[in-house]
Structure 1
Amino acid sequence: MAHARHLLLLFVLPVFLALKRYMPPSHKGIGEPCKEHLECQSGCCAVNSLNPQKFCTAQTFFLHCLSWQKPTGHSCLDHGECQSSCCVTNSNSALRFCMPRTIFYQCLQWRKPNGALCSDHSECRSKCCILLTEVSPPRCIPRSGILAQCLPL
């Protein structure tokens, strides 16, 4: 039994020393600041808050490195920045914000209320953008008629 242990040590020790020689000397632990994945023991260097500084983070069960995503209400530029994967405008301004999805998992764009100036049906909540008079600019109006059509008032 003791002889088997000595043989095992004779085999394992050179392999361990060889592996140690190839490992970078400064592997950082989770939570330590980093710039590249190679710096971290976990192999993941990612943003984990609104702070743009990257930190060593744990890998997922599927060995992926996930960056932190913004919660509802934070400004965003695209869907990938948000936890909800929904980055839309919430007013007339061009600014976009992370918004929750509907119960049907839809990401709904904000639309203009009735009476607001518009240039296309898709801009209005009612999906109805019409010229009210020949000289006035088009405005969002409620749908009307038996089949709720987009008809002039």
Structure 2
Amino acid sequence: MACSQHLLLLLLLLGLAEFLVFKRKNVLLLHKVIGEPCKQHSECRSHCCATNSLNPQRFCTPQTIFLQCLSWRKPNGYTCKDYHECRSGCCLMGGLDKQRICRPKTVFLQCLPLRKPNWEYCSDHSECQSQCCIRLNEVSPHRCIPKSGLLVQCLPL
């Protein structure tokens, strides 16, 4: 009698184990792994479905240690419309075509503005890449010029 009870218990446990394995396989098949295309968070094992490049296609991505889903953001130099698009969080007007561009931050977490190249018109040293904005003669407008001289100073040419 005890042997038949043990056998019945063993069969019951094997059946339960087989059911759990079957159930687990079906659950795993329902959830996609990191890198697979998705449309909603619920499709992914990580519960994160986000873009990971300029391509608008969404993929299953890992969660952060704070259990947040992070979308891919544009690196510095790419055009942007809003600061949320940029990895640095800085989207500033710049360039000759007056487009907004993702810009880096300083060590003080301030957005670094785009500076004008040499020979562009300027009104202040901070506007120029060379940090040098002077008049070339008494009647000419201020322009960005390269620093020169032995000590690399802002000197007229």
Q: State the TM-score, normalizing by the size of structure 1.
A: 0.58
Maintained 8 Å contact 2:93/2:99:
yes
Task: Kindly indicate whether residue 40 of structure 2 is the aligned counterpart of residue 32 of structure 1.
Answer: no
Task: Kindly indicate whether residue 41 of structure 2 is the aligned counterpart of residue 53 of structure 1.
Answer: no
In 1, Cα distance between equivalents of 2:54 and 2:83? 16
In 2, Cα distance between equivalents of 1:65 and 1:26? 20
Q: 2:122 aligns with which of 114, 119, 127?
A: 114
Amino acid at match of 1:36: Q
Q: CA deviation at 1:37?
A: 0.5
1:88 partner SS: strand
Q: Report the counterpart of residue 91 of structure 1 in structure 2.
A: 95
Q: Report the counterpart of residue 129 of structure 1 in structure 2.
A: none
Amino acid at match of 1:105: L
Unpaired segments of 5 or more residues in structure 2? Answer: 1-5, 129-140, 144-157
Q: CA deviation at 1:39?
A: 0.8
Task: Kindly indicate whether residue 76 of structure 2 is the aligned counterpart of residue 72 of structure 1.
Answer: yes
Unpaired segments of 5 or more residues in structure 1? Answer: 116-123, 127-138, 142-153
After superposition, what is the alpha-carbon deviation per residue over 1:63-99, rounded to whole angstroms, capped at 9, x for unaligned? 1110011111111111111111111122243311111
In 2, Cα distance between equivalents of 1:140 and 1:89? 22
2:59 partner SS: strand
Distance 1:45 1:114, change over 3 A: same
Amino acid at match of 1:48: N
Q: 1:103 aligns with which of 104, 107, 113?
A: 107
- CA-atom RMSD in angstroms: 3.9
Q: CA deviation at 1:25?
A: 5.2
| Higher helix proportion (structure 1 or 2) | 2
Maintained 8 Å contact 2:37/2:59:
yes
In 2, Cα distance between equivalents of 1:102 and 1:67? 23
In 2, Cα distance between equivalents of 1:73 and 1:92? 14
Q: CA deviation at 1:49?
A: 0.8
Q: State the TM-score, normalizing by the size of structure 2.
A: 0.57
1:49 partner SS: coil
In 1, Cα distance between equivalents of 2:142 and 2:42? 55
Matched residue count: 116
